[in-house]
Structure 1
Amino acid sequence: MSFKRLAPVTDKLVETLEQKADAFETLESLFERQLDALRNGEPDALAALTTQTQEHTAALDELRQTYRRQARLLTRVLELDADDPSLQDLIDALEAHGAPEASTQLERARAAVTDRAEAAQAKNDTLQFALEHAAGLNHELLAAVQAAAADPDSRTYTADGTTQSGGGEHSLVNTIG
């Protein structure tokens, strides 16, 4: 097989993998910025960053689809039998077809994507824990405010000299919606 046919296809796949690595790095940065907004009590910034994260995740999904198309094209160029080969299969096939430099490029790109994806996942796990903890604290705070607002000891004297409950409890939180 001619390296002239193989090189452009491999280069595009490597380029897409590098873009994925950059996208995961950006995603990790967005997760860190969300953590900072949570720590600093900035709900508006947190909401804006969440929107950016969702948009960035959609772009990452587009890159994943592009990668799959390019991997299938490389599979056809390499004349492999697999419909959806793994990246390791493609690396091995490039090596077997006498393209060790392309194989090495693809291996490096895969390692970069894996490293960045793992770092983003770790930051996401931290953010998830922090958000769950903040939600729990918020629930406890609301329960404490509700308990403080209720005054069960208040009594009112009536005209016949007896007492009755004074006013009853009322919620500080709109529970209807």
Structure 2
Amino acid sequence: MRADARRNYERLLAAAEELFRRDGTEASLEEVARTAGVGIGTLYRHFPNRDALLEALLREQFEGLRAAAERLTELPPEQALTELLVLFTERITQYRGLPASALAVLRTPGSALYEACHAMNDAGQRLVEHLQRAGVVRADVPARDVLALAASVAWLGEQSGDLEQRERLLRVVTDGFSARSS
């Protein structure tokens, strides 16, 4: 990539970061381009659609979550479950509207975010299965439901803006799929 194109790319990512945090993932792409100081055509040359822009912003975040899920298997199982859910809900709420976007993308093969979401989701599933084998998570709870419930708690916390509620709901959800509660 030429130096000027690279600068435009970086400015677009910085503008999207700012606007998605403030206005959510449905922020105007025209405003992203304007904030970056480039035309909308430049934005579309780098990012053909909103998902491609989100994917570029989230690639490192999702890779970090995937790696964290793999590292969490080294912790005591109860601690690993709690840390997975807290980390997942914190990362997925970094931009307003992201929980809904991530859930939709998991059902949209071919989306720019699809592979990144699935790699993160697969690592989370492996961790939940590890926790099931350790007797921490109920065997009758599919791993995909654990992550879907965490995404739901993240979405609800995002809607209410109440971090205490999110933490409280995470404890309730965690207790619900605890092997001790079955």
TM-score range, shorter chain: 0.3 to 0.5
Q: TM-score, normalised by structure 1?
A: 0.37
The structure with the larger Rg is: 1
Q: TM-score, normalised by structure 2?
A: 0.36
Structure with larger RCO (C-alpha < 8 A, sep 6+): 1
